[in-house]
Structure 1
Amino acid sequence: MVSRKRNTPKKVQLNIQERRLIRLLCIMIPFSAMNIMMFNVALSDISEELNVSLSSTSWVVTIFGIVYAIGALVYGKLADVYGIRILALFGVTAFSIGSVIGLISQDFYVLIVSRLLQGIGASSIPTLSMLIPVRFVQKERRGRALGIVASILALSSALGPIIGGFIVGAWHWKVLFLFSLAIVFTLPLVYKWVPKENLKKTEQFNYTGVGLLIITIVCFMLSITLLNLMFLLISLCTLLVFIIQQNKSLIPLIPLRLFRNHDYRRGLIMGGINAAVNFGVLLITPLLFSQAYHLNETWVGLLLFPGAISAAFLGYVGGKLIDYKGNRFVMSFAISFISVGLIGLSTISGYSAIGVSFFLIFTSAGYIFMQPTLVNWVSSTLKSYESGVGMGVYSLNNFLSTAISGAIASTMLDHISQVPINPLGVHGVSGVYSNVYFFLFILTLMNLFLLYQWMYRFQNKGI
C-alpha cells in the first residue's frame, strides 16, 4: 500500500491553478531578485554621468536593499489583512512606476526616488513567492512548488550581475530600468490568476510599529555598512522601544507570541545560518578569483555560472524530494552537501580556479535544497492567520543575516591571518579565503547540530 502510494505520480502533480500561480512567480521573481545585483555594475557609470561621488552613488543599491528588507516583513503582515492579489498588483505597479521614473531621470535625487519606488514594489515579490505556495498549493505538492521557486530565485540572483554587466556594456545603465519595466506585462496575469481571499480586515494598522522598525533596520544597516557604533546603539535602543510598543499594542505589527513557538524559532535560527553561509560564499568567491587568480570579470562570471545553473536545476529535484522523503531527509542531505563544498573550497583555494568552481556546485546545490525545505517547515509551524507575518519575519531574518554575514566576511578578509587553519590550504592571500570558508563550515556544522538535536525529538511532527 505504501509503495503504491509513493509511486503514483498524480499525488504530487500540481493542478492547473497551482501551475499557473507557479508560472506567474517564475516570471515575476527574476525582476525582483536580479535588481538586487544588476545596478552594482553600473555604479561607476552613474557616478561619472551624474557627477556624484562613488560613495554617494552606492545609495542607488543601499536604498533598494533597505526597503527590500523592511518590505519583506510589512508585505507579509499586509497579506493577512488585504490578501495576496491586492498586494501583488500594488507591488508590480509601484515597481513599474519606479522603473519609468528611473528611465527618464536626469538628476541623482530623482534616481534615488525611482530606486525607492522600485524597492517598495520589488520587496513584495519574495514574501509573496513564499505565501502563494503556502496558501494556494496543497501540502502534499508544496515541496515541489517551493523547489521551483527556489530554483528560479537562485538562477536570477546569479544572472543579475551578468545580465546587468552585459546591458551596461552594450547600451547604457538606464536600459536596466527599461528591462525592469517589462514586469508591467504581468499585471493582467496577477489579476486573472491570483485568487481572491476572504480575509477579515482590521480597521487599524500599526504605523508606529512600522516607523520604529524602519528606524531600527535603517540604523542597523548603516552600522553594518559604515561600521559605526553610534548607529548600532540607536538601532538597539529603538528595537527595545519597538518590543515594548508591540507588547502593549492591541494590533501589533509582529505578534510577540510568534517567538514563543519553539519550532518557529528554530526555523528562524537555521534559516538565518543557511542564508548567512550562502551569502558569505557568494560575496568572497568573486574576490578570491580576482585577487588570488587575477581573473577579469568575464572569467569570474563564467566560473560562478556552473554553481548557479546547477542550483537552478537541482532546486526542482529538491522540491520533489521534500514531497517524497520529508523535510528531515532533505535537510540532512543539504547540510552534507554544503559541508563538503565548504571544506573543498577551504582546501582548493590557491590551487585551482576550476576546482573552486567545482566545489561551488556543492554549496549552491546544498543551499537550494535547504531553502525550500526550511520554508516548508517554518510555514507548517504557523497557524493560517499567522502565515503572512510569520513568513515576512522569516524573510526579514534571512536578509539581516546576510547583511551581518557580509560585514563579518569583509572584515575577516582585512584582518584574518594568511596562515590557513586547514592544514591542506595554501599560505598567503589564498590562506585568508581558506580561513573564511572554514569559518562558514563551522557555521554549517552548527546547523547540522541543531538539525540532529531536534529531528529525533520532533520525528513524529513530519520534520
Structure 2
Amino acid sequence: MFLPAVRSDGDGQTQSPPVLQPSGLAVLVAGIFLSVLNASMSTVVLPWVQRDFGVRDDTLVWFVTGFLIPFAIGTLVYGRLVDSLPLRPLYTAGVLVFAIGSLLIAVAPEFWTAAAARAVQGAGPTALPAMTVPAIVRAARESRRPRALGTVVLAVGFAFGIGPLAGGALAEWQGWRAPFWVTAVAAALLALAAGRWLPPLPGRGRARLDGVGLGILAGAIATAVYALNRLSKAGDDPTVTVAGASALVLWGGVVAATFVRSEPLIPRDLVTNARFAALCTFGAMAQAAHFVAVVLLPLYLARYEGLSAAATGLWLAPGAAMLGLAGIAAGSVAAGGGTQRGLVWSGWGMLVAAAMLHLLAFGWPRWGVAAVYAALAASFGFANTLTLRAVATEVPERWVGTGMGAFNLAFFLGGAAAAALAGSILELQAERTASWDPFVSAEAVEFADAALVALLAALAGFAAALAYPRLPRGTGTTWRRPPRWKPNRVP
C-alpha cells in the first residue's frame, strides 16, 4: 500500500503531504455511497424502462451493459491515472461526468438515447472507487486509515441496503426517470464539495497510458458483448458472426500488446501473476452470478407476480441489505487471517444459491424468490470484500492503483458479459414452455434457463477459489510456492 511521502519545496525544505480531513473523507464516502446507490437503484426500474420504450429483453440489457462497459474500462484507466495525476481535478471531473450522464438519462426521449446516456454515466462514477482507497492510503494518517476504510465499507453496505427501496419508491412516485434526476442533482453537489474539500494530493509523474492498447481492449469488449447479446439471432443476423470473429482477433491483439509493447495497459507483472489471475477470475464470476440475478429478478417479479416498482424494491431489499452486512462481516474475517478459507466458503455459498435460483426460485412464491436472492447476495457480499483484501496483498506496491483497476475491469466485465448472455437466452426462450434443463419445472422457463448463466459462473468462481491458495506466488519469472494453507487454530 502507498505510504505518505514527503515533498521538497524550492528551498530544499520538506513538506508533509496533504492530510485527509474529516470533510475530505466525507466527500469520498459520499461518492462511494452515491455510486453504489445508483447501481442498486437502476436495476430495480428495468421493467418500467422496458414498458416505457417497448423494447425486447435482449435489447433492454443494453441499458445495463451500456453502463458496465465504460465503467469497467474506466476502472483501469483511472487506476493508472490516479497513480500519476493530482487527485482533486481528476475526481471532480469524474463526478461531473456522472452528473451529466444521469441528467441525459432522465431526459432521454427514446431507448437508444437512454442507453447511450447510460454509457456516459458509466464513464463518471468509475473514478470514485478507483480513487477512494488510494486517496485514503496516501492522505490519511496511518492511525486513522482502518477507521476511514471501515467507514467506506459501511457506506457501501448502507447504499446496497436502501438502493432497491429508494429506487422503487422514487419510480413509484415520479416514474423510472426519478432516480436519475436525484442522482444528477446529488452528483452535481458532490462535484462542488470535491473541488472544495478533497486534499490537493499531487501527481507522482507523467501519466503513461497505452492508447493503442486501450483502443484494442475497448473494441474487444464491445464486440464480445454484442456477440453474446445477439446470440439468439445468430442464424439470421450475420453481424453476430462478424462481431464474434472480430472479438477473437481483438482479444488476441490485447494479449499481443501486453507482451510486445514497452509500457502495456496492464503491466506484465500483473498478467503473469497466477494468484492475481485467479482472484480476477473469481471476482468476475462472482459478479456475473450476482448480476444475472439482479437483472432477472425485477423483470420476473413485475412480469409474473405483477408487482409495482415500490413492491419490487421491497422484496429485493432484504437481499441487498444482506449483501452490505455480509461485506462488513467479511472485513473481520479478513482481519483474522481467514481470507483463503472465506473465499472458498463464499464461493460454495454462491454456487448453492445460484443452483436454487436456476432450479427452484422461478416456481416459488415471492418470499422464496427473496430468500434465494438474499442467500446469493450475502455470499457475493462476503466474497467481494475478501477478494478485494486478497488482491491488495497480491499486487506490488508500485502497481496498487493499476492492479485494483485491472481487477475491477475483470469484475465488471464479468457482469456485463453475463447480463448480455442472460438477456439473449431470455429472448430466445420467451415463447417456449419447456426448459433446457429437465430438472426445471417452473412456469417461467425463460427465466430459469437464463439463470443457468449464473449457475455456470458460480461454478467457475468456486473452482478459482479452490485453486487460489494452491497457485504459486509472484510473476511468471519470479514464482515461488506459497506456504501450505492451514486453518487458524486457537492455542
Q: What's the TM-score once normalised by structure 1's chain length? A: 0.78
Shift of 1:394: 0.8
Give yes or no for the alignment of 1:171 onto 2:174: yes
Contact 1:21–1:132 (CA<8 Å) still a contact in 2? no
| Residue matched to 2:214 | 210
Q: Which secondary structure state, in structure 1, belongs to the residue aligned with residue 266 of structure 2?
A: coil
Distance 2:117 2:288 in 1: 29
**SS state at 2:123 partner:** helix
Structure 1: give runs of 5+ residues left out of the alignment: 1-15
In structure 1, which of residues 65, 68, 72 is the aligned counterpart of residue 71 of structure 2?
Answer: 68
State the one-letter code of the partner of 2:380. Y
Task: Tell me the equivalent position of 2:332.
Answer: 320
Q: Map 1:60-459 to 2 at 5 A.
A: 62-100=65-103, 114-132=117-135, 149=152, 152-153=155-156, 156=159, 160=163, 162-171=165-174, 175-180=178-183, 181-191=185-195, 194-202=198-206, 205-227=209-231, 228-287=240-299, 289=301, 297-342=309-354, 344-345=356-357, 348-349=360-361, 350-410=363-423, 414=428, 418=435, 426=441, 429=444, 433=448, 436=452, 439=456, 442-451=459-468, 453-454=470-471, 458-459=482-483
3-state secondary structure, aligned to 2:204: coil
Equivalent pair of 1:321/1:330 in contact (CA under 8 Å): yes
Aligned partner letter, 2:49: L
Q: 1:122 Cα shift?
A: 1.9
Q: How many residues align?
A: 443
**Which stretches in structure 2 are left out of the alignment for 5+ residues?**
1-18, 232-239, 474-480
Contact 1:74 1:392 in 2 (8 A): yes
**Counterpart residue number, 1:40:** 46
Could you tell me which residue of structure 2 aligns to residue 11 of structure 1? none
Residue in structure 2 matched with residue 5 of structure 1 by the alignment: none
* Alpha-carbon shift at residue 82 of structure 1 (Å): 0.8
Structure with the higher fraction of residues in helix conformation: 1
Contact 2:73–2:218 (8 Å) recurs in 1: yes
Aligned residue identity for 1:264:
F
| Partner residue, 1:7 | none
**Contact 1:167–1:173, Cα closer than 8 Å, also in 2:** yes
The 2-side partners of 1:115 and 1:427 are apart by 33
Percent identical among aligned pairs is 22
Report the alpha carbon displacement of residue 409 of structure 1 after superposing the two structures with TM.
Answer: 3.9
Check conservation: 1:351, 1:426, Cα contact below 8 A.
Answer: no
Q: Secondary structure at the match of 1:250?
A: coil
| 8 Å contact kept, 1:77–1:389 | yes
Report if the CA contact (8 A) 1:311-1:365 is conserved.
Answer: yes
Note if contact 1:146-1:372 (Cα within 8 Å) is conserved in structure 2: no
Distance 1:450 1:431, change over 3 A: farther
Instruction: Give the residue type in structure 1 aligned to 2:343.
Output: M
Which segment is superposed worse, 73-82 or 300-309? 300-309
Distance 1:160 1:185, change over 3 A: same
Is contact 1:315–1:368 with CA below 8 Å preserved after alignment? yes
Partner Cα separation in structure 2 for residue 53 and residue 328 of structure 1: 42
- The range that moved more, 107-116 or 341-350, is 107-116
Letter in 1 for 2:217: L
Structure 1 window deviating more from structure 2 (251-260 vs 112-121): it is 112-121
Structure 1 distance, partners of 2:21, 2:283, is 25
The 5-angstrom pairing of residues 10-49 of structure 1 reads: 17=20, 23-36=26-39, 38=42, 40=46, 43-44=49-50, 47=53
Aligned to 1:202, the other structure's residue is in SS state: coil
Superposition deviation, residue 109 in structure 1: 8.3
**Are 1:330 and 1:370, in contact at CA under 8 Å, matched by a contact in 2?**
yes
d(CA) in 2 for partners of 1:103, 1:286: 20
Cα distance in 2, alignment partners of residues 140 and 317 from structure 1? 21
CA–CA separation in structure 2 for the residues paired with 1:345 and 1:92:
36
Q: What is the CA distance between 1:453 and its match in structure 2?
A: 3.8
**CA positional deviation for 1:157:** 5.3
SS at match of 2:221: helix
Cα distance, 1:376 vs structure 2: 1.2
